[in-house]
A = this chain, B = another copy of it.
Amino acid sequence: MANLIAGMGTSHVPGLGVAIDNGKTQEAYWKNLFLGLEPLREWHRANVPDVNIIVYNDHATEFSLDSYSTFTVGVGESFKPADEGWGRRQVPAMQGHPELAWHLIESAMIDEFDLAVNASMDLDHGFTVPLSVAYGQPSEWPTAVVPICINVIQHPLPTALRCYKFGKAIGKAVASYPDDITVGIWGTGGLSHQLGGERVGVVNPEFDQQFLDNLTRDPLANTRLSHTDFIREAGCEGVEMIMWNVMRGALGDNVTEVFRLYHVPVSATAYGAIILENKKRRNEQ
A81, B18: Cα distance in complex, Å: 45
A119 to B66, CA, bound (A): 5
CA distance A110 to B155 in the complex (A): 11
What sequence of 0s and 1s flags, for each residue 109-127 of chain A, a beta carbon within 8 Å of any chain B beta carbon? 1101111111111000000
* Size bin of chain A's contact surface: 20 to 34
A106 → chain B closest CB, angstroms: 5
Query: Which of B70, B118, B157 is in CB contact (< 8 Å) with A67?
Result: B118
Which residues of chain B are within 8 angstroms of A158 by Cβ–Cβ distance? Answer: 109, 114
Q: Which of A151-173 contact B (CB under 8 A)?
A: 154, 156-159, 162, 165-166
Q: How far is the CB of A3 from chain B (nearest CB, A)?
A: 24
Question: Inside 8 A of A110's CB, which chain B residues have their CB?
Answer: 156, 159
Is the Cβ of A109 less than 8 Å from the Cβ of B66? no
Chain B residues closer than 8 Å to A112, beta-carbon distance = 112, 159, 162, 165
A196-225: which residues lie under 8 A (CB-CB) from chain B?
none
Q: How far is the CA of A120 from the CA of B68 in the complex (A)?
A: 11
Kindly state the separation between the CA atoms of A117 and B65 in the bound complex, as whole angstroms: 8
Q: Smallest Cβ distance from A173 to chain B, in angstroms? A: 12
Specify which chain B residues have a CB less than 8 angstroms from the CB of A72 in the assembled complex: 69
Inter-chain contact B162/A65, CB cutoff 8 Å: no
Q: A114, B66: Cβ atoms under 8 Å?
A: no
Identical chains in the assembly: 2
Minimum C-beta distance from A67 to chain B (A): 5
Contact A114 B114 (CB under 8 A): yes
CA of A109 to CA of B114, assembled, Å: 11
Contact A109 B156 (CB under 8 A): yes
CA distance A115 to B159 in the complex (A): 12
A36 to chain B, nearest CB (A): 36
Whether A114 and B115, one on each chain, are in contact in the complex, defined by CB atoms closer than 8 angstroms, is yes
CA distance A67 to B62 in the complex (A): 11
Q: Are B71 and A117 in contact (CB under 8 A)?
A: no
Q: Closest B-chain residue to A166, C-beta based?
A: B114
Closest B residue to A76 by CB, please name it: B66
For A162, the closest partner residue in chain B by CB is B112
| B119 in contact with A70 (CB, 8 Å) | no
A105 within 8 A of B: yes
The 5 closest A-B pairs by CB, nearest first: A70-B114, A69-B116, A114-B114, A109-B156, A66-B120
Additional pairs, 4, CB under 8 Å, beyond known A66-B118, A68-B118, A116-B116: A65-B117, A67-B67, A69-B69, A109-B159
Binding site for B on A (CB under 8 A): 65-72, 105-106, 109-110, 112-121, 154, 156-159, 162, 165-166
Q: Can you identify 5 A-B contacts, CB atoms within 8 angstroms?
A: A65-B119, A69-B69, A69-B115, A69-B116, A105-B156
